[in-house]
Chains A and B, each alone.
Chain A
Amino acid sequence: MTEQVKVSCRNLHFYYSDFHALQDITFDMYQHQATALIGPSGCGKSTFLRCINRMNDLIAGVRVEGSLTMDGQDLNDPAHDVVVLRRRVGMVFQKPNPFPKSIYENVAYGLRVNGVSDRNFIDTRVEESLKLAALWDEVKDRLDQSGLSLSGGQQQRLCIARAMAVEPEVLLMDEPASALDPIATQKIEELIHELKSSFTIIIVTHSMQQAARVSDRTAFFYMGRLIEVGPTSKLFTRPENKQTEDYITGRFG
């Protein structure tokens, strides 16, 4: 399969007021691949992730320079409808955050706020999304129960199903398994492998083993700069940059 660029950034800079959080970031994220962003706390990886669905817009005093595009369209174009953007770019957070609603309504929520009212269509999408998130078999007999009644791992898969329901093109995952036990983590990681065939995944993770297991490409950030990006198999066996080697082998600091 030929690699097609989905999200691309060129000389991207990001500022929280005076703080220069991202400095001159240039790289591509490819369609139907999982790209992992790794680096120590405060390196800018989550800031970068939130640039892609413009979550940072909600913070006062932020400024973006450079280009960030999806399918060649400028994501920071003021004319770009953020609501439409966030339908195209779904997000899953570190801590599972289901709405205090039924399992069914959690998944249906995105469709309803996007104006879908066809009951049959919503039923179908809810089932498809829960199947895609590998949760259907566990919840199909209790769709009317609260999403909060599920275990942590199930809640996180519910959040993934909720994100999937509106058929986004890109799925951003910010440490999606850091609050989960190893079995639940394994399920999420398997899910990432499955979801790649339909979506483009960009995942921030503190677990280097997780980045190594789930991603096709890995980008290493340090102090707001992109130090190295490349195929995961290469970055974890033959990194080109000394700082990358030091970080992934634990020789940092």
Chain B
Amino acid sequence: MYTHLHEEIEALKLKVLKMAALTEEAVGKAVRSYVKKDLYLAEEVQDGDVQVNRLDVEIDELALRLLALEQPVAGDLRFILGCMRISVDLERVADEAVNIAERSIMLSSRPPLPFQDDVAEMGGKAMAMLQHAIQAFTSGNVEAALQVCSLDNEVDVLNHKNMRKVIEYMIHETPAIERSVHTIILIRRLERIGDLATNIAESVVFISEGVNIKHKRYFDEHQ
């Protein structure tokens, strides 16, 4: 039997997917704006954030209404809670994209530093994590979600490697310190996108299995 609640849940899913598509696009444009020094792309990311924020509010309102009026349980309840968490994470990813775009604008007017390839590689990994997390959400695939979590290490390794590289560069090229600091912040934003993609994948596991795997390693080690 297909009920009113299930129609509403489909509408909620569509909103999350729309938000995910816009966020994914924003991250891609932000990374490209840095690599290609494309001011136009960076401005598009800044202007597009309002749409993501609007969807975040809409998802919150719809989820709140469903919880209050439909009193969902079991899989429906987990799905709504999962969507609320995912929309918070997507909104943060979009904010990180805006932050990257701002750095790109700042750096585009100055002589370039030799980190385009490193940022492009790390951006590609973070993007892939985000895409896989969203695909796992679309299909409800727990295995795919768990794979996203395991990719986070790779982004972390690149983060440390790139940080060291930029710091070493700064030591020898003192006139580039300001640009290097902005580059470090940009790298840190990409690492954060990887973390947030992991959060989304963890929410996919929660929706399917009803277990919270966040901080699991910490609790396992401290019990």
Contacts and interface: CB of A to CB of B under 8 A. Distances in A.
Interface string B1-13: 1010110000000
Give the interface residue-count category, chain B.
Answer: 10 to 19
Interface stretch (A20-28, A65-73, A143-151, A235-243): A235-243
Contact of A238 (B3, B76, B210): B210
A249 interface: yes
Contacts of A74: none
Interface stretch (B16-24, B67-75, B85-93): B67-75
Contacts of B77: 236-237
Interface in A167-211: 208-209
A208 B73 contact: yes
Contacts of A238: 74, 78, 209-211
A61 interface: no
A252 B2 CA distance: 9
Which residue, B77, B78, B209, has most C-beta atoms of chain A within 10 A?
A: B77
Contacts of A251: 1, 3, 6
Given A250-B1, A251-B1, A252-B1, A237 B71 contact: no
A209 B71 contact: yes
Which residue, A237, A249, A253, has most C-beta atoms of chain B within 10 A?
A: A249
Nearest to A238: B210
B3 to A, nearest CB: 5
B74 A236 contact: yes
B24 to A, nearest CB: 30
A236 B75 CA distance: 9
B123 to A, nearest CB: 37
B72 A249 contact: yes
A236 B74 CA distance: 5
A239 B71 contact: no
Interface in B26-55: none
A239 B1 contact: no
Nearest to B210: A238
B74 A248 contact: yes
A249 B73 contact: yes
Contact of B75 (A209, A245, A252, A253): A245
A201 B73 CA distance: 23
B5 A250 contact: yes
Given A237-B210, A238-B210, A245 B1 contact: no
A212 interface: yes
B71 A249 contact: no
A236 B1 contact: no
B6 A237 contact: no
Nearest to A212: B73
A238 B76 CA distance: 10
Given A250-B1, A250-B3, A245 B71 contact: no
B206 to A, nearest CB: 10
Which residue, B6, B71, B74, B210, has most C-beta atoms of chain A within 10 A?
A: B74
A37 B150 CA distance: 43
Nearest to A245: B74
Contacts of B75: 245, 249
A237 B1 contact: no
A209 B67 CA distance: 12
Interface string B202-223: 0000000111000000000000
B43 to A, nearest CB: 45
B74 A239 contact: yes
Contacts of A239: 74
A129 B101 CA distance: 71
A149 B5 CA distance: 41
Given A236-B77, A237-B77, A249-B5, 18 more contacts: A208-B73, A236-B73, A236-B74, A237-B74, A237-B210, A238-B74, A238-B78, A238-B211, A248-B73, A249-B72, A249-B73, A249-B74, A249-B75, A249-B76, A250-B3, A251-B1, A251-B6, A253-B1
27 contacts: A208-B73, A209-B71, A236-B73, A236-B74, A237-B73, A237-B74, A237-B78, A237-B210, A238-B74, A238-B209, A238-B210, A238-B211, A244-B74, A245-B74, A248-B73, A248-B74, A249-B72, A249-B73, A249-B74, A249-B75, A249-B76, A250-B1, A251-B1, A251-B3, A251-B6, A252-B1, A253-B1
